[in-house]
Amino acid sequence: MQKVLGGKDFDIFIGNSMVHVMEATVKITDGRTVKKVRGIPKGFIDGPVEGEVTLKLDHENWLIVQAQAEKAGSWKGIEPFDVAFNAEVAAGKKNIEAFGCLPQLEELLNIKADGGEEDTTSIKCPITSPDFVKINGVPYLTADEVRDL
């Protein structure tokens, strides 16, 4: 029986810094819609796309992003960065790259008064680059969509 891919198998990089996350998501909203004629599907129409990375960090790894804020002079001064999620086990690999992630503090503090759990911070990062997302090296967007951008 082969080991299957799990969350512990991922190395995650914010720019050139490796971080350990408690949770992470990469979401894509693909705005393609179905074209209909007299209520019957007949093809599709391209629409807008957007993507977002969400990172839930413990205090130690939040300090890595804090250092970038200090260097930039403010949290809003942090330039968009790339985020890479890389994992490989015998059963296969999964490498997700999100480009131009604009960090926005979403949940600055999450504590329980009775203890037993560590403080966490969630950072959402809308994707701002036309490079958008690559999945195992394959771009999500077509070359035609990003031409001249």
Q: Domains in the chain, ordered, with CATH?
A: 11-139 (2.30.110)
Got the DSSP string for 12-77?
EEETTEEE-EEEEEEEEEE--EEEEETTEEEEEE---EEEEEEEEEEHHHHHHHHHHHHHHTSSTT
Tell me: the pLDDT tens digits for 9-42?
Answer: 898 988 888 899 999 999 999 999 999 999 999 9
Q: How many CA atoms lie within 13 A of 31 on its CB side?
A: 6
* pTM listed for this prediction: 0.89
Count of positions (residues) in the chain: 149
Sign of CA dihedral 112, 116, 125, 52: negative
pLDDT, mean over the chain:
93
